[in-house]
Amino acid sequence: MSLFQWTEKSAAVLQQGGVIAPDERLPWPQTAVMGVQHVIAMFGATVLAPILMGFDPNIAILMSGVGTLIFFLITGGKVPSYLGSSFAFIGVVIAATAYAGKGANANIGLALGGIIACGAVYTLIGVIVQAVGTGWIERFMPPVVTGAVVAVIGLNLAGIPVKNMAASNFDSWMQLLTFVCVGLVAVLTRGMVQRLLILVGLIVASVIYAVLTNGLGLGKPMDLSGVLNAAWFGWPHFTTPVFEANAMLLIAPVAIILVAENLGHIKAVTAMTGRNLDPYMGRAFIGDGVATMVSGAAGGTGVTTYAENIGVMAATKIYSTAIFVFAAVLAVLLGFSPKFGAVIQAIPLPVMGGVSIVVFGLIAVAGAKIWVDNRVDFSVNKNLIVAAITLVLGTGDFTLKFGQFALGGIGTATFGAILLYALLNRRR
CA distance 55 to 103: 9
- For residue 327, pLDDT over 60 is answered with yes
Predicted local confidence at residue 297, as pLDDT: 93
Of residues 292 and 222, which shows the higher confidence score? 292
Q: What is the mean pLDDT of residues 59-77?
A: 91
Q: What is the mean pLDDT of residues 148-176?
A: 78
Listed in sequence order, the residues at least 6 apart from 274 whose beta carbon sits closer than 8 Å to its beta carbon are: none
- For residue 186, pLDDT over 60 is answered with yes
CB 73 within 8 A of CB 3: yes
* Residue 26 to residues 9, 22, 81, 172, 319, Cα–Cα distance (Å): 5, 11, 17, 48, 10
- For residue 197, pLDDT over 90 is answered with no
CA distance 91 to 87: 8
Comparing 239-253, 288-302, 308-322, 333-347, which segment has the lowest mean pLDDT? 308-322
CA distance 111 to 239: 11
Spell out the SS3 assignment of 47-72. Answer: HHHHHHHCCCHHHHHHHHHHHHHHHH
- For residue 188, pLDDT over 70 is answered with yes
Comparing 86-95, 109-118, 239-248, which segment has the lowest mean pLDDT? 86-95
- For residue 22, pLDDT over 60 is answered with yes
Q: What is the mean pLDDT of residues 217-246?
A: 82
The single-letter code of the amino acid at 49 is A
Query: Residue 214 gets which letter from DSSP?
Result: I
Predicted local confidence at residue 124, as pLDDT: 95
CA distance 6 to 23: 5
CB 341 within 8 A of CB 56: yes
- Give the range with max mean pLDDT: 49-58, 237-246, 287-296, 367-376: 287-296
* Residue 164 to residues 159, 179, 198, 386, Cα–Cα distance (Å): 8, 16, 20, 31
55-76 b/e with 16+ CB inside 10 Å = b? bbbbbbbbbbbbbbbbbbebbe
> How many Cβ atoms sit within 10 Å of the Cβ of residue 14?
16
For the chain, the 3-state helix, strand and coil shares in percent, each to the nearest 5, are: 70, 5, 25
CA distance 295 to 280: 22
Which pLDDT band holds residue 348 (cuts at 50, 70, 90)? confident
Compute φ and ψ for 130, nearest 5 degrees: -60, -30
For 359-385, how does the pLDDT look when each residue is reduced to its tens digit (9 = 90+)? 778 777 777 887 888 888 888 898 999
Predicted local confidence at residue 402, as pLDDT: 67
CA distance 29 to 240: 39
- For residue 14, pLDDT over 60 is answered with no
Compute φ and ψ for 74, nearest 5 degrees: -70, -35
Q: What is the mean pLDDT of residues 68-79?
A: 91
> How many Cβ atoms sit within 10 Å of the Cβ of residue 210?
16
